[in-house]
Amino acid sequence: MKILVIGLGGVTNGGKTTLAEKLKKMLPNCDAISQDDFFKPESEVETDERGFKLYDVLDALYMDEMVESIHNWMNSRTSSGVVTEEPLNTCNSVKNTEDVYILIVEGFLLYNYEPLNKLWNRRYFLTLPYEECKRRRSTRVYQPADTPGYFDGHVWPMYLKYKNELEESASNVVYLDGTKSQEELLSCVYSDIIQELKKLRE
């Protein structure tokens, strides 16, 4: 039994969740975990001197619980042999992978937390230019809602900070252009994961 843990990180509104959901349907024995499910309640998230809730930092998340969830998934797969839903297209490239289980972990702060960095087999990072990211963010409804100036005052600076940290410390990260079509991004990542599956089977 082999396990492949895929990180799908990057900028807010970059298309991570959509990509993860599509990959889950196409890949054999595939599950997904979303970092958004590990946010602390609003009352536990710090507020800065400008009144901004500091959601775009690691301290706003229950990261230990997230790591534990991933480990639990890995342990249950290696001990139970439970088969998850079959992929939509069982083309030849994904046949003979019954003994491989894939977990896609998607979120905006995946690669800046050391306990997670021991787990990745592949790491992808979606990027967007400032204007496009701001435009997309403005069309989304959040709970709590973004306050005026929040994107420029907190969200974008934190994205740049963590992206710079990643570029300085990490190798083997595949950067993806989030302005490309969902089909292009899906095709790129899917074919790359298929190559990883072939390597695991060799």
Enzyme catalytic residues:
36
Cβ(5)–Cβ(16) under 8 Å? no
Q: What is each CA distance from 134 to 14, 22, 113, 180, in whole angstroms? A: 11, 24, 25, 16
Residue 39 carries which DSSP code?
B
Residue 64's H or E segment, with its range, is helix 63-80
Q: What does the alpha-carbon distance between residue 143 and residue 160 come to, in Å, rounded to a whole number?
A: 23
* Assigned token pair, 1: 């039994």
Query: What sign has the CA pseudo-torsion 86, 92, 94, 97?
Result: positive
Give the list of residues 6+ apart from residue 2 with CB closer than 8 angstroms, or none: 99, 100, 101, 200
